[in-house]
Amino acid sequence: MFACISQVSSYLAESTLSVSQDPDVIGADKGEHTITEHWLPEEALSPLTTHVSQSPLTTHVSQSPLTTHISQSPLTTHIFQSPLTTHISQSPLTTHVSQSPLTTHVSQSPLTTHVSQSPLTTHVSQSPLTTHVSQSPLTTHVSQSPLTTHISQSPLTTHIPQSPLTIGMKNSECTEKVGYFIM
């Protein structure tokens, strides 16, 4: 596109205008002037003009597909959705174009480094394999266990205050007069 514009502009710049005041020209008696345009032949114009603004082989390419600053891509640097471009906006052969299928600054890419939620991130807040688990089913510090050693009241105590088989007799000689039993 830019080469065509440069050719047209150089073609118009090489054209000359001559004003004819020949009395034989129609309308010359009314003081009118006829403009004759003299155009240069097309073979005099070169298809390779010198004023080409953007060449497909520019030297100032900011991001090359074989750069040294590679973040996570196998061949790029800071490319978010395009694998092969540098600052292209609307032309497939220009630099600094805003919308192109080969742009560099795209926000979501499957090969970006700074992804907030990724299936392969390292800083995961809640993971099924975390080490710092607050409540685990296999904890060691159990507050109340069904097998505690300190039992407050046992059904088999040794200190019995009153025995159900106490015998009291009035006469210790075991005569016919037997006393009473205290059950």
**pLDDT, tens digit (0-9, with 9 covering 90-100), for 57-84:** 434 444 444 434 434 434 434 444 444 4
Count of alpha carbons within 13 angstroms of residue 181, beta-carbon side = 4
**Is the pLDDT assigned to residue 2 strictly greater than 50?**
no
Q: What percent of the chain has pLDDT over 90?
A: 0
Structure tokens at 92: 């497939």
Q: Which of 91, 89, 65 is nearest to 79 (CA)?
A: 65
Structure tokens at 96: 């600094």
What sign results for the dihedral spanned by CA atoms 93, 98, 104, 106? negative
Across the chain, what does the average pLDDT equal? 44
In the structure, what pLDDT confidence band is assigned to residue 3 with cuts at 50, 70 and 90?
very low
Q: What does the pLDDT read at residue 36?
A: 53
Q: What does the pLDDT read at residue 40?
A: 54
Q: Are 19 and 31 in contact (CB under 8 A)?
A: no
Q: What does the pLDDT read at residue 155?
A: 45
Sequence-separated contacts (24+) of 5-9 with Cβ below 8 Å: 6/49, 6/51, 6/52, 6/53, 7/45, 7/47, 7/49, 9/51
Return phi, psi of residue 10, to 5°. -70, -30
Q: Show me where the domains of the chain are located.
A: 2-44, 62-107
Q: What does the pLDDT read at residue 39?
A: 57
Mean pLDDT along residues 160-183: 48
Q: What does the pLDDT read at residue 94?
A: 38
pLDDT top residue among 32 and 108: 32
Q: Structure pTM?
A: 0.11
Residue type, 64: S
Beta bridge pairs of residue 20: 34
**pLDDT, tens digit (0-9, with 9 covering 90-100), for 44-57:** 554 444 444 444 44
